[in-house]
Structure 1
Amino acid sequence: MYLAIIGYLMICVLVYLLLKGKTSPIILFIGLPLIAAALLGFSIVEIGQFAAAGVETTMNNAVLFIFSIMYFGLMNDAGMFDGLIDKLVEKAGTKVVSVTIVTAIIGIIGHLDGSAATTALVTIPAMLPIYKKLNIRPTVLLAIIACGMGVMNLVPWGGPTARVATVLEMNANDVWRTVLPIQIAGIIATIGLAYVLGKLEIKRGAGLVEGSSEIEKVAATVDEKVLALKRPKLANINIGVTLVILILLMLNIIPSHVVFMIAFSVAMLINYPNIKDQNARFKAHAPSALSISATMIAAGIFVGVMNETGMLEAMANVLLGFVPEALGQYIHIIMGIVAAPIGIVLGTDAFFYGLLPVAIGVGNNYGVDPLNIAITMLVGKNLAVILSPAVAATFLATGLAGVELKDHIKFTFKWVYGISLIMIVLAIVTGVISL
């Protein structure tokens, strides 16, 4: 019982400090489990072994994160999809439904790097002037982007998938390959949502303002230094390299982190052969790549100590007393259904590193596969990622769109929650999730 009490106290402190933003997640993921293990009476040597065991399971995924973030950052610098996005915006013209569908496509493409901030910066400034001109509510723009982000975040270099892989002690690419059919269905659902929202906006009066015949082009102020990094002539080559990466990841013939290490080197030589430019690109993208990867490695200590000390098992046993016997075998479905609202409150780290391990522990007692629970919670929660006040990119997106957070949540939640439930049902029907 003492194990469970210490474990739950640790989780409560973790969630509280993460929500309050009192300190860095890295410090929390390292410090809290070490303190908990010490309170439980484990020796320094044992605690060190627990931590090392946890870190060992995260290293491949951490390397994947470092090089995938740097690769897609490099592609963003080079403007890999700039031409395609410009053509999509131009093709959308003044048709409301076309504009909303193009928003979905740009959001999906823009989130290939797994970064919510990049997606917001790519999509919102490009589309918001058109939305205003056509009298389409900016909350619609945010809802479509949120859905696209949530679906695309299932890629192996996406934060939630990598966190799930850390908890499961699996390769992130293996998790992704399992959920890939549901991700494809989610992409279709996102475009379908864009179509529905476009039609609803037309009903409420959206459309070209009377007396206007075309969308005025908005002159975007582009920093000369940013412009100097663009490589429009290499766009097709860069897209080709990216497609090869995706094919190799799906075939799973080379470890995913190795794929991105090689791809990053190739992309750097193609786009920025000068050593001075290469060093500048390293310095530009290293902070975000290292920050996320360091957090993941630190989370390995957290998960490792919880497992090795027996805290996780003890916490699960306590929780078992509150789960009706008849519902035990469906614990993954229950967690998937409540994942979105809980995820909005907890935020990403607390949800996947705090709640998911406990849910897996409960499921083990009822014979539910840990991967089953993880995928259900991943799919259920992921679409609500850009609605959480605990996620910094949420405020970036609402700020760029000029929308209050409460209005964003009020409008968007019902749509993304509905689609997340549809994706869970599809996962069950297709056998990705078993009952």
Structure 2
Amino acid sequence: MLALIGVLAILALTAAILSNRASPVAALILIPLAAAIAIGQGAQAPAMMVAGIGKIAPVAAMFVFAILFFGVMTDAGLLDPIVRRILKAVGRRPSRITVGTALLALIIHLDGSGAVCFLVAIPAMRPLYDTLGMDRRILACVASLAAGVNFLPWTGPTVRAASALHIPVLDIFKPMIGVQLAGLAFVFVVSWWLGKREEKRLGLVEAAADGAPTLDIPEHGAEPGLARPGLFWLNLALTLVAMGMLVAGVAPPAVVFMVAFAAALLINYPKVADQRARIDAHARSALLMASVLIAAGAFTGVMGGAGFLKAMADAAVANVHPDSGRHIPFVLSLLAMPLSMVFDPDSFYFGVLPVIAETHARLGGAPVQVAQAALVGQMTAGFPVSPLTPATFLVAGLAGVELSAHQKFAFPFLYGASLVMAVACLLLGLFPL
């Protein structure tokens, strides 16, 4: 009975979110509460919710202050000189332009926002593609590849995986640094190959590397006068120190970003009124995701505390051969990217992933492997072509291509990146052979 109600709760969560009948926050709060009442544990549900929220609080705090920190850095113009240098270097050779597109998208995506990445990178590079007559599908594809492979500790999928399974975010991310490097190598090789193919198609094999048209680079600052070009090197040093401390595990990620944000705010905007304005400017995006994470803590708290996850895992284990359990992470990694076309990130990471992780744990595996398997494709490499994310429509619209044309062209390359990272997980020992 517990397993059946648990499955119905997950199906209800998925249906409510995908059908737009309820926001993720409302569905994550009300559905587990209804499930707990159905099994007579309604009185215990509030305590379960609070316990679940307590477990994800550090991750939510990290996300909020990471968004604020990168928002301030962007407002201060940290990325502007880098963007201009890349645009100047690519010239008029398609193989350089495509690689430059990937590098630009990768750097812009450091703040963890796919929308910001595409809003900056695609309009900045599109004039070059149009001037030379290059296929705009390549622009959309290369930008999607760079953003999709760039899963960082503060990006949505990583944060969701850590929250859903109550695993420290660095325990998931640090072993995957080599995996991500393999994926990025694939991205740049594919970008270069697509550029070389365009050179041949356009008869530009001997194209000069200079003489590129003058391009209008989108301003990063939300309002005039926010840029602090004189503080570029200090801001860059602060960012590198923060990233180094994060990867080295010197302090908890939430603390690193809290301190880095406070320092960035004081350095770039000493006036209290300006500080408040910068916080207000980025509070909406931080609050939206933080509310989802807190609601997800309530969901997983009830699903675990009431015994739903254990019951569903027991039912799954009864139908899985014990020797097959160790292959669950690798199988999931092969399916993760296509699953982006079926599940939105909230319903997958908060509804489906905990059941898979519990099943894997009951068969002797480590839940962190399931989280890592999901990250090689589920709403990472998969998000720029998934019809369930606004980013897909944004990419196609900014690049000026039909949605179906973008999906057909980019899907094989994005899936290829996901498969490369899945194999890298095997070779690096993250998944058992």
TM-score, reference length from structure 1: 0.94
Which position in structure 1 is the counterpart of 2:420? 422
CA distance in 2, matches of 1:202, 1:19: 42
Matched, 1:51 2:41: no
Superposition deviation, residue 227 in structure 1:
3.4
1:133/1:34 Cα in 2 relative to 1: closer, same or farther (>3 Å)? same
Which position in structure 2 is the counterpart of 1:17? 16
Superposition deviation, residue 168 in structure 1:
2.1
Superposition deviation, residue 231 in structure 1:
1.3
CA distance in 2, matches of 1:409, 1:285: 31
Superposition deviation, residue 209 in structure 1:
12
Q: What letter is aligned with 2:357?
A: I
SS at match of 1:228: coil
Which position in structure 1 is the counterpart of 2:396? 398
Which position in structure 1 is the counterpart of 2:29? 30
Equivalent residues in 2 for 1:179-218, closer than 5 Å: 179-205=176-202, 207=204, 214-218=211-215
Identity %, equivalent residues: 37
SS at match of 1:23: coil
Q: What letter is aligned with 2:266?
A: L
Which position in structure 2 is the counterpart of 1:126? 124
Q: What letter is aligned with 1:308?
A: G
Query: For 1:315-334, what per-residue CA distance to the aligned partner results, in whole angstroms no more than 9, with x for missing partners?
Result: 22333455455533312211
Query: For 1:75-112, what per-residue CA distance to the aligned partner results, in whole angstroms no more than 9, with x for missing partners?
Result: 11111011111111111010101000111111110011
1:324/1:136 Cα in 2 relative to 1: closer, same or farther (>3 Å)? farther
CA distance in 2, matches of 1:317, 1:150: 34
Indicate the larger mover: 107-116 or 188-197: 188-197
The counterpart of 1:364, out of the listed 354, 361, 364, is 361
CA distance in 2, matches of 1:364, 1:374: 12
Q: What letter is aligned with 2:39?
A: L
Matched, 1:165 2:168: no
Superposition deviation, residue 116 in structure 1:
0.6
CA contact (8 A) 2:75 2:221 kept: no
CA contact (8 A) 1:135 1:207 kept: no
Superposition deviation, residue 418 in structure 1:
0.9
Equivalent residues in 2 for 1:75-90, closer than 5 Å: 75-90=73-88
1:322/1:137 Cα in 2 relative to 1: closer, same or farther (>3 Å)? farther
CA contact (8 A) 2:361 2:367 kept: yes
CA distance in 2, matches of 1:299, 1:387: 25
CA distance in 1, matches of 2:20, 2:389: 11
Q: What letter is aligned with 1:265?
A: A
1:57/1:233 Cα in 2 relative to 1: closer, same or farther (>3 Å)? same
Equivalent residues in 2 for 1:403-414, closer than 5 Å: 403-414=401-412
Equivalent residues in 2 for 1:36-435, closer than 5 Å: 36-44=35-43, 46-153=44-151, 155-205=152-202, 207=204, 214-219=211-216, 226-323=223-320, 327-381=324-378, 382-435=380-433
CA RMSD between the two structures: 2.2
Superposition deviation, residue 352 in structure 1:
1.0
CA distance in 1, matches of 2:431, 2:322: 21
Unaligned runs of 5+ in 1: none
Superposition deviation, residue 229 in structure 1:
0.9
SS at match of 2:250: coil
CA contact (8 A) 1:372 1:434 kept: no
CA distance in 1, matches of 2:316, 2:425: 26
Superposition deviation, residue 213 in structure 1:
8.1
CA distance in 2, matches of 1:243, 1:222: 23
Superposition deviation, residue 197 in structure 1:
1.4
Query: For 1:262-281, what per-residue CA distance to the aligned partner results, in whole angstroms no more than 9, with x for missing partners?
Result: 11111111111112211111
Superposition deviation, residue 207 in structure 1:
4.3
Q: Where is the helix percentage greater, Structure 1 or Structure 2? A: 1
SS at match of 2:377: helix
Indicate the larger mover: 108-117 or 327-336: 327-336
CA contact (8 A) 1:29 1:298 kept: yes
CA contact (8 A) 2:340 2:386 kept: yes
CA distance in 1, matches of 2:221, 2:58: 37
Superposition deviation, residue 386 in structure 1:
1.6
SS at match of 2:376: helix
Indicate the larger mover: 63-72 or 129-138: 129-138
CA contact (8 A) 2:49 2:299 kept: yes
TM-score, reference length from structure 2: 0.95
CA contact (8 A) 2:77 2:221 kept: no
Q: What letter is aligned with 1:120?
A: F
1:341/1:282 Cα in 2 relative to 1: closer, same or farther (>3 Å)? same
CA contact (8 A) 2:171 2:368 kept: no
CA distance in 1, matches of 2:217, 2:82: 17
1:406/1:103 Cα in 2 relative to 1: closer, same or farther (>3 Å)? same
